Structure 1
Amino acid sequence: MKFGIFLTTLILASICAIVGAFGYYVTYRTDSRLCPWAFSLDENKPLLVGKWVGQFTEPDSLEKKISIEIYEPYSKTERIFTSIGFPYSQRMKLRDMHKFDGLMTVESKFGKKEFKLEGHVNAKNMQFFEFHLLTNDNRSINVPYSISFIITNGFWKSNVMSFILNVIYYNSSSSKKFRNLDYQLSKKVKVTLNRFKSLNH
């Protein structure tokens, strides 16, 4: 009796594994066709997803390090669970196969700031992209302060990424609530990043 239950369980587990592996491959192949900027059957093909690093100098000559990590729209864990028929809450619903999200980190001698980001690649040419930063309008900040909400003219090819960063300056005498800051001026800076390569590669 116990052996029969064990054998039945083993058979069901084997079937789930086979179905899951097949489902994983089929969905990944489909995503590679619909989102070639995020997925590829070729492990060596450069993708937009991943980590990018570099630095830039603001108009006031302040040097800053910058890193951007663009997440896979559909993670391996999500794919595994859905392939075997288990519900799994996706971080980002792919109603639009051109959308992505991620994290941008800016660091200077005054400290480090992190911003969640959301963006999209151009539907006709995936090498062009734009994204905007998400912030909490009610948080307290130290002024004078500069930040960018919209990044434009994004372009990536192979292992290099570039975009225009709009740096906005505010009046230091303003309230320390972001939504009440007085706009002073805006400057545009071109930023170039390189794909981050870990020591293991």
Structure 2
Amino acid sequence: MTKGTKLGLFFLALAGLSWGVYECKYEYSYYTDLKDRPWAYSQDENAKLLVGTWQGEFRDPNNLTKTIRLTILPPVSDEERAKKAARRTRKRSGLGSRADKKRFDGTATVTSPHGQEEYELNGHVQTEAGNRLAVIHFQTGDEFLRLRNNFNLLAALEGGEWQGDSLTLTLSFAYTTATGSSYSNSSDPRYEKTVTVHLLRIKS
């Protein structure tokens, strides 16, 4: 066997070993999430997870009918998992929020005759199965784009419930004036009002 052949076999074996390590790290990460985040991952492609897109209708404190479309994203995407598995060494900071096994992120769009509201959201599940939720916070990417003269979403209060194809949240609001500033009036019950919304899963 020539020296060149030996080197070729060596690098081939090294490549095979690297691929094996990558596969092991990827599969370990995935199966860990199956165990720790059953509300976000399942080997059953028909499983009903908290992750997904939801839609419902509610009336805001001004009695304006609005439609909310809410998407909860997988805590770790396939692309993120692949990048993590490909890293030779783990960063000291780890995965940051992704290391929080109960956290989720997503987006929400609220539409009404008054206009369209766009939000980013983050929250936590309270139970291992994820059927009970902690507070969900809604933020706009650009505060200058927040809809004016409007009760915008502030949060979904602790105690939200998810079961199968149904998601129930209790929403709180913050009023934005024509100038873009926040306003509240303790003598006006609208500014303290919360609204319960029942959302159904939007199947892709």
TM-score (norm 1): 0.79
Deviation at 1:47, TM superposition (A): 1.3
Distance 1:6 1:134, change over 3 A: farther
Distance 1:90 1:69, change over 3 A: farther
Spell out the pairing of 1:1-201 with structure 2 (5 A cutoff): 9-86=11-88, 93-123=97-127, 126-130=130-134, 131-135=136-140, 139=144, 143-152=148-157, 153-169=159-175, 176-179=179-182, 181-183=183-185, 184=188, 185-198=191-204
CA distance in 2, matches of 1:84, 1:161: 36
Distance 1:134 1:167, change over 3 A: closer
Counterpart of 1:98 in structure 2: which amino acid? K
Q: Which string of whole-angstrom CA distances, capped at 9 and with x for unpartnered residues, describes residues 48-72 of structure 1?
A: 1121122223343422221111111
Q: Report the aligned-residue RMSD.
A: 2.9
CA contact (8 A) 1:55 1:65 kept: yes
Distance 1:126 1:92, change over 3 A: same
CA contact (8 A) 1:35 1:97 kept: yes
CA contact (8 A) 1:78 1:90 kept: no
Tell me the SS of whatever aligns to 1:68: strand
Counterpart of 1:161 in structure 2: which amino acid? L
CA contact (8 A) 2:127 2:133 kept: no
CA contact (8 A) 1:169 1:186 kept: no
Tell me the SS of whatever aligns to 2:194: strand
CA contact (8 A) 1:73 1:92 kept: no
Distance 1:119 1:82, change over 3 A: same
Counterpart of 1:42 in structure 2: which amino acid? D
Deviation at 1:168, TM superposition (A): 4.2
Counterpart of 2:196 in structure 1: which amino acid? K
CA distance in 1, matches of 2:74, 2:148: 35
Which sections of structure 1, spanning at least 5 residues, go unmatched? Answer: none
Counterpart of 1:43 in structure 2: which amino acid? E
CA contact (8 A) 2:160 2:169 kept: yes
Which sections of structure 2, spanning at least 5 residues, go unmatched? Answer: none
Q: Which string of whole-angstrom CA distances, capped at 9 and with x for unpartnered residues, describes residues 100-122 of structure 1?
A: 11111101123211111111001
Q: Name the count of aligned residue pairs.
A: 194
Deviation at 1:127, TM superposition (A): 0.4
% identical equivalent positions: 31
Deviation at 1:79, TM superposition (A): 1.0
CA distance in 2, matches of 1:5, 1:51: 52
